[in-house]
Amino acid sequence: MTTPRSRPNMATLVLVPVWGVVLAAYVGTMLWTAQISFTASRLLPVNEYVGFDQYERLFASARWLVSIQNIAIFGFLFIVGCLVIGFVLAVALDQKIRFENTLRTIFLYPYAMSFIVTGLIWQWLMNPGLGIQKAVRDWGFESFRFDWAVDREMALYAVVLAGLWQASGLVMALMLAGLRGIDQELWKATRIDGIPAWRVYLSIVVPILRPIIITAVVLLAISVVKSYDLVVALTNGGPGIATEVPAKFIMDHLFTRQNIGLATAAATVMMITVAAVLAPWLYMEYFRRQRAGGAA
């Protein structure tokens, strides 16, 4: 990054089309989306500006409010759940156990599958007439219930459960790599001091794993924001609007409900939210550190 250059530069030339793509595909589309959200567009985009009308309608819409509430609950439970399960699995696998490779493979394989596949699998397992509920009732537990996917109260937790199944292994893999990087001397030292293992994990290991935990949270948060496939395959937003999420709200209004203005207003809200969370993190993570590194 510190190569001095004088001639007109092939690298700059090569990056010109990249600039074009980035400006058009990312910056341009974001501005365009925001622009449409201030118009009265419905089936087709129009240039009649209506100020914040679409935003007022958006936040008066029960469907949107439920979507936001759902993504908040789903996001919280999914991220915390993945971190806890992933950490516990990683710690368990790190105890010099037999069949470690096999177990690691078993815990991680769902992550290779798409959210569509995950959603369909759990849709079947939680289908009251066919899945686990029927099997357990046939064994004689007549009052057993596991019909989350079709139960208004539980459907959102069905989505969480499927998400945990798919992504916990990812956190496990990341944390296991982190645990393997911890100096063995630490364990000897804490053993001499007679500190119980669980305390060592909570007070010493977790802080050491902080960068990995942050990475995991970022990755999981991206899949929360983009959660569309999982909901479509598992519940399609139902029953009723019990599992609607913002991404699905936007897609429905763009392509089936023909309300482009409202959809782009929702997209703009998502965009601003993501940017507001992202900007400080990116600055800390890349640009501040890079400057420090560049000076060295």
Partner 1 sequence: MSRSIVPAATAPALPLSDTPDASARGPRPRTVGVGRVGLYAFLVIAAAFFLLPAGVMVLTSLKSMDEIRVGSIFALPQSLDFSAWVAAWSSACTGLSCDGIRVGFWNSVQILVPSVFLSIAAGAIVGYALSFWRVRGANVLFAVLLIGAFMPYQVFIYPMVRTFSAVGIYNSLACIVIIHVIFGLPIMTLLFRNFYASLPQELFNAARVDGAGFWRIFAHVMLPMSTPMLIVAAILQITHIWNDFILGLVFAGRENLPMTVQLNNVVNSTYGERAYNLNMAATILTAAVPLVVYFVSGRWFVRGIAAGAVKG
Q: Which of residues 86-145 bind partner 1 (CB under 8 A)?
A: 89, 92-97, 103, 105-117, 120-122, 124-125, 130-132, 134-135, 138-139
Indicate which single residue of 68, 78, 264, 265 sits in contact with partner 1 (rule: CB under 8 A): 264
Indicate which single residue of 80, 206, 218, 284 sits in contact with partner 1 (rule: CB under 8 A): 218
Provide the minimum distance between the beta carbon of 107 and partner 1 in the complex, in angstroms, as a whole number: 6
Q: For residue 221, give the DSSP letter.
A: H
Binding mask 46-85 for partner 1 (x = CB under 8 A): ----------------------------------------
| Nearer CB in complex with partner 1: 76/287 | 287
End-to-end CA distance of the chain: 12
Provide the minimum distance between the beta carbon of 207 and partner 1 in the complex, in angstroms, as a whole number: 17
Q: What is the rounded CA–CA span in Å between residue 188 and residue 279?
A: 41
| Nearer CB in complex with partner 1: 65/132 | 132
Q: Which amino acid does the sequence have at 61?
A: S
| Nearer CB in complex with partner 1: 156/267 | 267
**Whether 208 contacts 183, CB under 8 Å:** no
Closest to 71 (Cα-Cα) out of 288, 224, 218, 211: 224
Choices 3-11, 59-67, 75-83, 141-149 (CB under 8 A): range interacting with partner 1: 3-11
**Whether 79 contacts 225, CB under 8 Å:** no
**Size (the chain), residues:** 296
* Axis crossing angle, helix 246-255 with helix 260-282, rounded to the nearest 10: 140
| Number of residues this chain uses to bind partner 1 (CB under 8 A) | 111
Provide the minimum distance between the beta carbon of 187 and partner 1 in the complex, in angstroms, as a whole number: 6
Applying CB under 8 A, does 3 fall inside the site for partner 1? Answer: yes
Applying CB under 8 A, does 275 fall inside the site for partner 1? Answer: yes
CB under 8 A, 24+ apart: contacts of 173-176? 173/90, 173/104, 173/107, 173/108, 174/86, 174/212, 174/215, 174/216, 175/86, 175/87, 175/90, 175/91, 175/209, 175/212, 175/213, 175/216, 176/90, 176/93, 176/94, 176/104
Applying CB under 8 A, does 284 fall inside the site for partner 1? Answer: no
Residues 141-200 that bind partner 1 (CB under 8 A): 165, 169-170, 173-174, 177, 184-185, 187-188, 190-192, 194, 197, 200
Is the bond leading into 239 cis (omega within 30 degrees of zero)? yes
**Whether 172 contacts 86, CB under 8 Å:** yes
Residues 8-37 that bind partner 1 (CB under 8 A): 9-12, 14-15, 18-19, 21-30, 32-33, 36
Applying CB under 8 A, does 256 fall inside the site for partner 1? Answer: no
